[in-house]
């Protein structure tokens, strides 16, 4: 339950979005 709660909080979503964007930029560089 604690994991699901953390996944839905805005800070977690912001972190995931940032990680995805950074990952896509890394792919672009290659």
Average pLDDT over residues 21-26: 94
pLDDT reported for residue 14? 85
Helix (H, G, I), strand (E, B) or coil at 22: helix
The mean pLDDT of 8-16, rounded to a whole number, is 78
Dihedral class, residue 14 (left if φ above 0, else alpha if ψ from -120 to 50, else beta): alpha
Tell me how far apart the alpha carbons of residues 15 and 20 are, in angstroms, rounded to a whole number: 9
In this prediction, residue 9 carries a pLDDT of 67
Residue-level pLDDT at 27: 92
In the chain, where the domains are located? 1-30
Residue 10 confidence (pLDDT) = 73
**Where does the pLDDT of residue 4 fall: very low under 50, low under 70, confident under 90, or very high at 90 and above?**
low
Residues 6 or more apart whose Cβ sits within 8 Å of residue 5? none
- Whether 6 and 12 have beta carbons less than 8 Å apart is answered as yes
Which tokens hold the place of 16? 């995931």
Higher model confidence: residue 17 or residue 7? Answer: 17
């Amino acid at each position: 339950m604690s994991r699901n709660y953390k996944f839905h909080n805005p800070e977690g979503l912001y972190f995931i979005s940032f990680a995805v964007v950074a990952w896509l930029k890394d792919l672009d560089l290659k």
